[in-house]
Structure 1
Amino acid sequence: HLGDYIYEYDGEGYATEHAKEIGRTYAPDNDTELYTLTDYRDRYALYRTDEGLLSLHQNKPFIVVWDDHEITNDTYKDGAENHQEDEGDFYERRAAAVQAYYEWLPIRPPFGTERLEIYRQFTFGKLLDLYMLDTRVLARDKQLEYANYRDAETNAFDQARFMKDIGNPNRGLLGETQRNWLHSSMRQSQAKWQVLGQQLLIGRMLF
């Protein structure tokens, strides 16, 4: 599972248009955006009342990693699009979300104090090495917004400036430690297939 196991919005937020008709409304005490450990725990508990999800967990093993909505929309290493200054301390919110994630998902927390180092490797004989990556929380810089590269009057896209910024060697996604681990692990792999499990689309961008 590559993330967005839960969504942090209230009952009027993203993807709730048909919640009432399919019986997936939030309980009154959890119909708010998630900020505290109790908020996140209650939302996981609510999701686990879904019979289909329960059956899935009962019958299939999960290999999991988080995306952004386990914390809040468009999370990066030191903030998020959906976290405002009047919503408290971002790092406290993130810590609460991470704690609830480890409590509710089938994953062992990392050893030591670095609870964000969720990246890891699974080896399936000589057939496959699976690398579960964190491209969201640990080291990701704030994402570039397309809207910031459009002219306010003509809506023309400034491709040259965008490509310069996206190619900035000082911007990061994996972080040096995770990148070095991945590079070393893939070079040493004896498996026929090396598979990346991560949160982002990989493809060519056309303008």
Structure 2
Amino acid sequence: MNRLLIVRHGESEWNAVRRLQGHADIELLQHGRNQALALRATVQALSPELVATSDLKRARDTAILLGFDDAEPLNDLREHDVGDWTGQAIKDIQTLNGDAYVKWRAGLFTPPGGESWAEFQARTKGAILRLAEKTSNTLLVVAHGGVVRALLETFLDLTPRRTIPVGTASLTVLRCNNGNHADMRLELFNYSPTGPRLDAPD
């Protein structure tokens, strides 16, 4: 692999009302479908050789809308499992326990019944390294905002407390220096052809 493209899925029903999704299998809104279609030409122009997607419907459908019907679905590319917080409104979590939410967003707190940040990082890193072995060129992964943040920390040492929420249907690009996965460079972050979204939902 010489370049890693990461796309967050388009806006879903729960993104729109700012509910944490985790592993819940939530549908895209029509707006989210339109976002993915708007990004399609940009991603196609980068000519990914290998394409994989989270097995959750919002990511799989985004991959299809980008033009990759045959993207390999992988459960290791699922969003961060937030356990008992699944389906809860972010504002309600913040009201009840704002400190825990801030720590979770920084990778320092695990919701009850959820997945630790370290477990999540290890899961997503393993998926990327296995996929990287299958191509010497460009790998495209269609996944989730948490996956983007986890991979930025894994490959760039950029911790989640240092990144804003990733926009829906946005593109982030990492390049391997001389094909070395341990020496990644950030080429693009949070790109959307319709303009940046600076208040994106987690």
TM-score (norm: length of structure 1): 0.29
TM-score (norm: length of structure 2): 0.29
- The structure, 1 or 2, with the larger RCO (C-alpha pairs under 8 Å, 6+ apart) is 2
Choose 1 or 2 for highest CA Rg: 1
- Structure 1 or 2: larger strand share? 2
